[in-house]
Chains A and B, each alone.
Chain A
Amino acid sequence: MKAVDDLSIEIAEGETLVLLGTSGSGKTTTMKMINRLIETTSGEILIDGRDIRRQDPIQLRRKIGYAIQHIGLFPHMTVAENIAVVPKLLGWAVGRIDKQITALLTMVGLEHGEFRDRYPVQLSGGQRQRVGVARTLAADPPIILMDEPFGALDPITREQLQNEFIELQSEIKKTIIFVTHDVFEAVKMGDRIALIDSGRLQQLDTPGKLVESPANSFVAQFLGQHRFQLSLLTMTVKAIMPKMNEEVPSPDESVPSPHLRARSSMIEALDMFKETKEVTLPVYEQKQYIGNLEKSRLIEAITQVLGQSGDSQ
């Protein structure tokens, strides 16, 4: 029996690829083959076109960030010492390490003066995970592996960290391979999702396409009863926008007003309508106005999706 059987994926630079599957699906094994914690028995893995089996595994690992579910902070080291581990292994100068620690702690939202010298035992779960993320980014690796990094947190902290991480992703632009069994986390965090079962790739697609067109019965079953919710989370405002009417003037942009982004999900759009109590909102794509979305149109689209989800049982 093979843990990973038939898997071919090409990951683009700067992409966040989610490996999604149930326990034992082979997703974690796949990820661990990338930094050679587990060695492949056949097939090959290339990073920047170079076979990783020809590289020294230890040097390889120092250039790949690695974050696990239980965080694994070294309890006998301070926050600063934890973060400094890989930079020290790479021989960075002390001053450079120091600056990096300050920058990273600030990036993950921890006040650096306060947290630098604390020990993991003195931190909350959420704080520990933030330090874990900082530690993963410490040596500025181009590739990061994350194995259910938010899994050990309570749902509220988890959601908060997911949101913060998404913002971080857009700033740091790293190639991230993210393992999870949570389909909601997958559609939220991933640019593309690789759904794996029994070591085989079932579908590799963007979240939207995965939800909209499941490739086979396994995928459909995996999405199961969550399909409607997932549709709301993955379908974008852009998809339901009417054609732009040339005569509609752009709204007055000197006054900040509530608006939607073209890539906001339908759920986010609903939230915005609810909060602002408007019946129509302007939509922007990359700061360019592309029209208004009527609340009624949104509701109609949602009803349609509901109808579709029901029929495709």
Chain B
Amino acid sequence: MLSATYEHVYLVFFAMLIATVLALSGGVYLTRCRRPKLISVILGIAGSIQTIPSLALIAFIVVFFSFLGLPTIGTVPAMVALVLYALLPILRNTYTGIRQVDTSIIEVAIGMGMKPNQILLSIELPLSLTVIMAGIRISTVWTIGVATLCGLIGAGGLGDLIMQGLRSIQLDYLLAGTLPAAALALVCDWILGLVEKWLTPEGLRIDT
């Protein structure tokens, strides 16, 4: 059970890392993009990926990979599926989070002579952090869930135990799979909540 949990964490962690980096940069890029059509297209695609049932997406990737001669079982296709799934909440939240920063604050920042990436790092990101973190949290919890399906394609993880338990209707396998998965989701959510609090600038935390 421990090794399964470890595999699971491994899958989720790296998937989230890649997804966060991609989605954060993508989200920032979208806020600078001057073509509203392009923005809606990109958000639309990311959204559609989410609506595909996770099982179907995994299956689709397997087929697609076999076409390309890429490995169809194991960690690689699993990662691809997880990353794709994790993208949307972070992407969308990064985009809307930054967009809802008060434009007069941005105007003042420009008027004072801040460079665009100074504005991004010291103004836009701190002020949109809560929204972005919410996206990361949702994404993480969800990914932990989707990762259980990756047991089907031999990626290991807790999904493996769950599948075995289902096939042989053995309760202890089932429990060995589902309980850690649920616990993992709860713990990650809690930790990320703490991270969010830690990163939130004090000025926004105060209850007046």
**Shortest CB–CB separation between residue A61 and chain B, in angstroms?**
4
Q: Determine if B107 and A72 form an interchain contact, defined as CB atoms under 8 angstroms apart.
A: yes
Q: Determine if A121 and B203 form an interchain contact, defined as CB atoms under 8 angstroms apart.
A: yes
Q: Which A residue's beta carbon lies closest to that of B204?
A: A76
Residues of A within 8 A of B53 (CB): none
Residues of B within 8 A of A121 (CB): 203-204, 206, 208
Q: How far is the CA of A62 from the CA of B115 in the complex (A)?
A: 11
**Shortest CB–CB separation between residue A78 and chain B, in angstroms?**
7
Residues of B within 8 A of A7 (CB): none
Q: Determine if B203 and A61 form an interchain contact, defined as CB atoms under 8 angstroms apart.
A: no
Q: Determine if A76 and B127 form an interchain contact, defined as CB atoms under 8 angstroms apart.
A: yes
Chain B CB within 8 A of A85 CB:
yes
Q: Determine if A85 and B112 form an interchain contact, defined as CB atoms under 8 angstroms apart.
A: yes
Q: How far is the CA of A61 from the CA of B109 in the complex (A)?
A: 10
Residues of A within 8 A of B127 (CB): 75-76
Chain B CB within 8 A of A89 CB:
yes
Chain A CB within 8 A of B3 CB:
no
Chain B CB within 8 A of A231 CB:
no
Q: Determine if B203 and A77 form an interchain contact, defined as CB atoms under 8 angstroms apart.
A: yes
From A68, A76, A77, A86, B113 is in contact (CB under 8 Å) with: A86
Which residues of A from 167 to 184 have beta carbons under 8 Å from B? none
Q: How far is the CA of A59 from the CA of B114 in the complex (A)?
A: 9
Chain A CB within 8 A of B36 CB:
no
Which residues of A from 57 to 105 have beta carbons under 8 Å from B? 58-63, 66, 68, 70, 72, 74-78, 85-86, 89
Q: How far is the CA of A61 from the CA of B126 in the complex (A)?
A: 23
Q: How many A-B residue pairs have CB under 8 A?
A: 65
Which residues of B from 93 to 113 have beta carbons under 8 Å from A? 102, 104-105, 107-113
From A58, A68, A72, A77, B201 is in contact (CB under 8 Å) with: A77
Q: Determine if B108 and A68 form an interchain contact, defined as CB atoms under 8 angstroms apart.
A: yes
Contact with A along B178-208 (1 / 0, CB 8 A): 0000000000000000000000011110101
Q: How far is the CA of A47 from the CA of B193 in the complex (A)?
A: 51
Q: Determine if A75 and B112 form an interchain contact, defined as CB atoms under 8 angstroms apart.
A: no
Residues of B within 8 A of A16 (CB): none
Residues of B within 8 A of A72 (CB): 102, 104-105, 107-108
Residues of A within 8 A of B114 (CB): 58, 85, 89
Residues of A within 8 A of B105 (CB): 72, 74-75
Residues of B within 8 A of A70 (CB): 104
Chain B CB within 8 A of A26 CB:
no
**Shortest CB–CB separation between residue B201 and chain A, in angstroms?**
4
Q: Determine if B203 and A58 form an interchain contact, defined as CB atoms under 8 angstroms apart.
A: no
Chain B CB within 8 A of A37 CB:
yes
Q: Which A residue's beta carbon lies closest to that of B116?
A: A58
Q: How far is the CA of A150 from the CA of B102 in the complex (A)?
A: 19
Chain B CB within 8 A of A119 CB:
yes
Residues of B within 8 A of A66 (CB): 108, 111-112
Chain A CB within 8 A of B123 CB:
yes
Q: Which B residue's beta carbon lies closest to that of A60?
A: B113
Residues of B within 8 A of A86 (CB): 112-113
Q: Which B residue's beta carbon lies closest to that of A85?
A: B112
Residues of A within 8 A of B111 (CB): 35, 37, 61, 66, 68, 145
From A35, A62, A75, B204 is in contact (CB under 8 Å) with: A75
Chain B CB within 8 A of A120 CB:
yes
Chain B CB within 8 A of A122 CB:
yes
- B residues lining the A interface (CB < 8 Å): 102, 104-105, 107-115, 118, 123, 126-127, 201-204, 206, 208
- A residues lining the B interface (CB < 8 Å): 35, 37, 58-63, 66, 68, 70, 72, 74-78, 85-86, 89, 119-122, 145
Nearest 5 Cβ contacts at the A-B interface? A76-B201, A62-B113, A61-B113, A72-B108, A119-B203
